Chains A and B, each alone.
Chain A
Amino acid sequence: MFVDFNYGKNQRGKTSLSTTVLRMVMSESLIFYAIAIVAVGAGVLVVTLRNIVHAVMFLALFLLSIAGLYASLKLDFLVVVQVFIFVGAVVVLFLFIVMLTFKISDFSQAMSNRQRGLALGASSVMLFFLILALAKTNAFSNLHKQDAPSASGGFRELGTEILTTYVLPFELVSLVLLVALIGAIVIARKQ
């Protein structure tokens, strides 16, 4: 969508040497790794920064770089939804709550945790299974073999699937959201 890799072909369909070199430099994997480094860096800053407003800012950067990863895989629909939902709504709500909390940004947050050992164990088990799953699906070798998106960007197919094949899970998800909404209202009403 944002980066078109068919640039640089001249009219006879042949590519010149300099064009080839340039295209290698700007190849997809390079873009992928550049965005991935930004994502990981921002993610680390989210959990290590002591100023909570700054942490939310880096959360926004992290979510944007994930959208960038989707763009490099040409998943147009996911890019837009990621930006729309996560950056445009979730991060804004986070900020809203942080700003409304009394003087939360004035003192730096305590970073210690008494359950450090338990957390380390749980996260390493999760990491182990994640790596296992990744090794099974050979996700990395398939990374650059994406099918070209269809004319409508894939969301026509997505919509049809959701409202025909997967209509029951779709309705169940909306029910879960409704329950969460009512729960939030009930909790807020008590005070």
Chain B
Amino acid sequence: MELLYDTKKLIDNIYNALQGLFVQYHVPVFFLHLLIPIICIGLILAFISVNAMFLIWLERKVSAHIQVRLGPMRVGWHGILQPIADGIKLILKEGITPKAADKWIYFISPIIVFTTAVMAYVVIPWAPGATMRDLNMGILYLFAATSMGVLGIMMAGWSSNNKYTLLGGLRSSAQILSYELPMTLSVVGVIMLAQTLSMTQIVEHQSRLWYILLQPLGFILYIISATAEVNRAPFDLPEAESELVAGFHTEYSGIRFAMFFLGEYTNMFTISAIATVLFLGGWNGPVLPPIIWFFLKTYSVIFLLMWARWTFPRIRVDQLMSFSWKFLTPLAFLNIGLTGVFVVIFT
């Protein structure tokens, strides 16, 4: 139990135990260093699958209760096993490829979407010492990795050879490109305050004061543009059911559709985790272990996003562009300017 509070020690203990085992059986320690990343990736993939299933269940429950329904109730306690049943259904389903599709690109695009979603997990600081790699330009890496996901969405839209998917892909790329700017700019204020790009160091800087108190405007701008980045309502134009069937993944079925779905919920967790790390103090908090605090805050942000999705109507496509370029981006620049003055005066 004490080790849960001191994750650094916990990880050191595991490492030392493994090293002892390797030395005892005369296996070169080099193999251990090869094995560690593989173990980490395995853990992250396991987490992603379990987390996505939990989030799908949570979303159905939250939406149901907002609409005064019950949601899934039959499979397990309050339908908690429903995502497993859905998952089995998706895996067993026949994968249909449209005849006119561009086969290679059609197969590769769900993989690209999922891979770029996973790449972000390299730098997320779960608890003190528990980061896969604490890169010294963590935030930049994160935005670079997630900015590639749109390639997969566009490729999916184009390769399906269907006008609805093509329109969905185009809308998505236009949207992601225009909201990437305010999202990146809204984070600059935090970087200026912390004087570093490393995720772990940013969390350590917030041990006394969370940056949401110093950067309220930055936080609001970040949440809005991040919602647009992951194509969630009220910014879900790329998959607007009433206009575009299901948008870019209309022609996908079975396990490939599941990969898009997984990627979407993985990205949702990622943006909430970034919000937690940059604005809500990451693992910092009293009494409870740091890792619990991290998840508590992240799932609170996720609940906020779900709440917004089932409350606000979808934004119109012409409002979408002007909202980003005429409203969010100037405000983000204003935030940077104000933060600069603040930093110069008070430090």
Please report whether the interface of chain B is mostly helix, strand, loop or mixed according to DSSP. helix
Contact residues, B4-38 vs A (CB, 8 A): 23, 28-30, 33-34
Cβ B169 vs Cβ A99 within 8 A: yes
Partner of A76, one of B28, B34, B137, B170: B137
Cβ B151 vs Cβ A87 within 8 A: yes
Cβ B105 vs Cβ A7 within 8 A: no
Q: How far is the CB of B136 from chain A (nearest CB, A)?
A: 4
A89 to B180 alpha-carbon distance, docked (Å): 10
0/1 string, B128-170, CB within 8 A of A gives 1: 0000010111001101110110110011011000000010011
A153 to B174 alpha-carbon distance, docked (Å): 32
Cβ B137 vs Cβ A153 within 8 A: yes
| Most chain A Cβ neighbours within 10 Å, of B102, B154, B180, B196 | B154
Please tell me the number of chain A residues within 8 Å of chain B, measured between CB atoms.
35
Residues of B within 8 A of A45 (CB): none
Cβ B148 vs Cβ A88 within 8 A: yes
Is the CB of A77 closer than 8 A to any CB of chain B?
yes
Contact residues, B266-283 vs A (CB, 8 A): none
Is the CB of B317 closer than 8 A to any CB of chain A?
no
Cβ B136 vs Cβ A151 within 8 A: yes
A99 to B151 alpha-carbon distance, docked (Å): 12
Known contacts: A77-B137, A89-B147, A152-B196. The answer to whether A96 contacts B28 by CB under 8 A is no
Q: How far is the CB of B333 from chain A (nearest CB, A)?
A: 14
Interface residues on B, range: 35 or more
Q: How far is the CB of B300 from chain A (nearest CB, A)?
A: 29
A100 to B166 alpha-carbon distance, docked (Å): 9
Q: How far is the CB of B61 from chain A (nearest CB, A)?
A: 35
Is the CB of B177 closer than 8 A to any CB of chain A?
yes
Is the CB of B253 closer than 8 A to any CB of chain A?
no
Residues of B within 8 A of A89 (CB): 147, 177, 180
| Most chain B Cβ neighbours within 10 Å, of A1, A22, A80, A105 | A80
Residues of B within 8 A of A80 (CB): 137, 140-141, 144
Cβ B154 vs Cβ A99 within 8 A: yes
Residues of A within 8 A of B180 (CB): 88-89
Residues of B within 8 A of A9 (CB): 29
Contact residues, A87-136 vs B (CB, 8 A): 87-89, 91-93, 95-96, 99-100, 105
Is the CB of B51 closer than 8 A to any CB of chain A?
no
Partner of A84, one of B33, B147, B169: B147
Is the CB of B63 closer than 8 A to any CB of chain A?
no
Please report whether the interface of chain A is mostly helix, strand, loop or mixed according to DSSP. helix
Known contacts: A89-B147, A89-B177, A99-B166. The answer to whether A76 contacts B135 by CB under 8 A is yes
0/1 string, B79-121, CB within 8 A of A gives 1: 0000000000000000000000010010000000000000000
Cβ A57 vs Cβ B105 within 8 A: yes
Residues of A within 8 A of B102 (CB): 53
Q: How far is the CB of B240 from chain A (nearest CB, A)?
A: 18
Q: How far is the CB of A104 from chain B (nearest CB, A)?
A: 11
Tally A-B pairs: CB < 8 A: 93
A53 to B155 alpha-carbon distance, docked (Å): 9
Q: How far is the CB of B47 from chain A (nearest CB, A)?
A: 21
Q: How far is the CB of A167 from chain B (nearest CB, A)?
A: 16
Q: How far is the CB of A106 from chain B (nearest CB, A)?
A: 10
Cβ A91 vs Cβ B29 within 8 A: no
Known contacts: A92-B177, A99-B166. The answer to whether A16 contacts B28 by CB under 8 A is yes
Residues of B within 8 A of A166 (CB): none
Q: How far is the CB of A105 from chain B (nearest CB, A)?
A: 8
Known contacts: A16-B28, A96-B170, A152-B196. The answer to whether A7 contacts B33 by CB under 8 A is yes
A53 to B136 alpha-carbon distance, docked (Å): 35
A93 to B150 alpha-carbon distance, docked (Å): 11
A89 to B177 alpha-carbon distance, docked (Å): 7
A60 to B143 alpha-carbon distance, docked (Å): 17
6 CB contacts below 8 A, A to B, read A7-B30, A7-B33, A18-B28, A77-B140, A84-B143, A99-B169
15 extra interface residue pairs, beta carbon distance < 8 Å, beyond A80-B137, A99-B170: A1-B135, A8-B29, A53-B105, A53-B158, A57-B155, A80-B141, A81-B144, A83-B144, A84-B140, A89-B180, A92-B151, A95-B158, A99-B157, A99-B166, A153-B136
| A residues in contact (CB < 8 Å) with B | 1, 7-10, 16, 18-19, 22-23, 53-54, 57, 60, 76-77, 80-81, 83-84, 87-89, 91-93, 95-96, 99-100, 105, 151-153, 155
Q: Which 10 A-B pairs have the closest CB atoms?
A: A88-B147, A8-B30, A84-B144, A7-B33, A153-B136, A83-B144, A19-B30, A80-B140, A80-B144, A18-B28
